[in-house]
Chain A
Amino acid sequence: MNEVKRAIDSGMREIKFTKAMQQRVLEKGRYRKSRKNNRYISVKRMVPAAVCFILCLGIIAAGKVKLWDKYVAQQYNLADNEPVQEKTIADGLAAPVLAAAKDNGITVQVLQSVASGSHLQIYLKIQAENEEIADGLVDVNPDFEISYDRCQEFSGGGSMENYYTGEGMKTAFVEERDGQEGPDYEIYSIYSTVGNGELEGDTVHLKIHNFVGNSQTSPDKVVEGDWELSFKVSADTTEKAYVFDKEYSIYGKTLKLHEIKITPTGISISIDKASADGQGLMDGQVYLVSHAGEDFLTNYESAEWRGDWGVPLAVAKAWTPQEKEAAYEQIENGTYQGEYIDFWEWTKDKTHQIVGPWDNIQIKLDDGTQFRPANSSGLISETDDCYVINENYIGYLEMNQVREVQIGDCIIPLSEGAEK
């Protein structure tokens, strides 16, 4: 027996898979089997059957019919704040949507939409008809497209994230409540940012084509199906805008800030193009990596590919094609110049931290607290004169309480700007 096995077995000798656990497995297995649907529906159909989907035109529930969906309200820190929930529904920020589509035993329902400024977030409830299908949905994400009748979709399909509901959905769709099992659901959300046009009143079309496996762990997995949903967007059109036209220093680079706009769920920062060009800061692919206190500018696109991560940008740019290939080969093998490099770990460990200037925007409130909810999406669009950094937050922002905005290492008091 090797040392590891000995250490684990002796060190954890009291940790045993007991008879009681065995019994629970058997009982639960019997129970699941008893409620198994006799009509087995293959999740991954060998021959695609005729696609059968229900297309529903969503209807925005009128007025103060109900408060936010409980789960979504929690995400926005509004679960216990009914007055604000009511206000946001009246303002058009949050809207329950009655749109659902079903295919291949899976129902996709729009639970709620949240829209303000140029940002729309759609919360989807994904529910499987039976356990076989639910099992197939573990470790998959929807492959989707989003479009509008009037607005131009800017974020290229947005991003989708799967949320843990905290209600027992640990590994599958089935949860157990007080000994009673029933099909559970997963909640996904989609961000979308529009490049032009007004979201309010526009019709959004969401097409989901297949649930595809996690690219790292289940790359070949596909749960087939087509789900199409359309609904009219209800958006909160209130915003606060401040004009600055002043120079600020961000990570040692000087640029001219034109304007900051704040909405209940997002912020847009306009930077003068002429002041920013040539400094690398406005290149959305250029990120800053802090490694044990020493900063490196690095190329995001390559990083995603496990390329230049952590390699000083100046060095990477000076590589010949052969040098680049050799460096990539080293990195793919796990090290660069003797140092271990791995994209995912670099984003997490204590010595390597991504601090892209546009990924590090914080909103400071009057009470001294900082507003930077758990999730944000940063996108850079442009007008003729400005680059516009759009950050969309999951969380509700009281616009009147905002005092400062921090971009990277630069703190900008709103009092230095003129409110429009």
Chain B
Amino acid sequence: MEQNTEQDMEKRLTVLMNEYGDSVLRMCCIYLRDYQLAEDMAQETFLRVYQHYGDFNNRSSLKTWILQIAINLCRNQMRTRWWKNRSRTEIGEIRTDEYEDSFLEREMILEEIGKLPPKYKEVILLYYYQELTITEIAEVIGEKESAVKARLVRARNKLKPELKEVLCYE
């Protein structure tokens, strides 16, 4: 019985990883600007989903919950002493990874978003890439909706003018 439950859980998790895995990994990659770390965080995200699926209370959508875990893991990563030390000396020059060289530099949008401070990057990624609503973003990042709106406006203002034009914000 228990084995069946576990198999069911693994099936559910596989469906979730198929559906959200790529976008979670890419979001972590832009957030952290480090492919290896992003891979770790994306895997850890689904591992947490596996472990805590029973705690998911349906107050939010599964997608919102998964993104909340991913964002929190990335934030935690950026709070580590190791990260801070690295950021202090290498920020802006971290992108030595072959993925980032080949993709992020080529794409102005990715580069610009990647350079944003974390709190702006979060809202841009969640709004435009994950296509969450303001309400959902507020839930993911633990802020009021008004704060999310204000942050989106400021995030857009920090981007290059030509990029601002492609980002429509209602």
Contact = CB atoms under 8 A, between A and B. Distances in A.
Contacts of B83: 164
A24 B29 CA distance: 19
A3 B134 CA distance: 18
B1 interface: no
A32 B109 contact: no
B158 to A, nearest CB: 8
A21 B13 contact: no
Interface in B8-48: 10, 13-14, 17-18, 21-22, 24-26, 29-30, 35, 39-44, 46-47
A26 B51 CA distance: 10
Contact of A26 (B10, B40, B110): B10
Contacts of B35: 15
Interface residues of B, number: 54
A87 interface: no
A163 B81 contact: yes
B45 to A, nearest CB: 9
A182 interface: no
A5 B131 contact: yes
Interface in A138-195: 138-139, 161-164, 166, 170-171
A25 B47 contact: yes
A334 B129 contact: no
Interface stretch (A6-14, A114-122, A267-275, A307-315): A6-14
Given A4-B167, A166-B82, A334-B150, A138 B76 contact: yes
Given A15-B35, A171-B77, A4 B129 contact: yes
Contact of B25 (A11, A16, A28): A16
Nearest to B124: A4
A16 B51 CA distance: 23
B44 A171 contact: yes
A415 interface: no
Contacts of A164: 80-83
B13 A11 contact: no
B157 to A, nearest CB: 8
Contacts of A337: none
B154 A334 contact: yes
Between A11, A21, A28, A138, the greatest number of chain B beta carbons within 10 A of the residue's beta carbon is seen for A11
B4 to A, nearest CB: 15
Interface residues of A, number: 40
A119 to B, nearest CB: 20
A345 interface: yes
B72 interface: yes
Contacts of A139: 72, 76, 79
A340 B131 CA distance: 27
Given A11-B103, A345-B117, A25 B40 contact: no
Interface in A312-343: 333-334, 340
A279 interface: no
A420 B32 CA distance: 52
Interface string B33-67: 00100011111101100110000000000000000
A15 B99 contact: yes
B113 interface: yes
A25 B46 contact: yes
B128 A2 contact: yes
B75 interface: yes
B15 to A, nearest CB: 11
A374 interface: yes
Between B35, B79, B167, the greatest number of chain A beta carbons within 10 A of the residue's beta carbon is seen for B79
Nearest to A18: B21
22 contacts: A3-B166, A5-B131, A7-B107, A7-B109, A12-B99, A12-B103, A15-B25, A15-B99, A17-B25, A21-B43, A25-B47, A29-B10, A29-B47, A32-B47, A33-B6, A139-B76, A139-B79, A163-B81, A164-B80, A164-B83, A334-B150, A340-B154
Given A3-B109, A5-B129, A17-B25, 19 more contacts: A3-B128, A9-B22, A11-B106, A12-B29, A12-B110, A15-B26, A17-B24, A22-B21, A22-B46, A25-B47, A25-B50, A26-B50, A28-B47, A29-B13, A29-B47, A30-B6, A138-B76, A139-B79, A171-B73
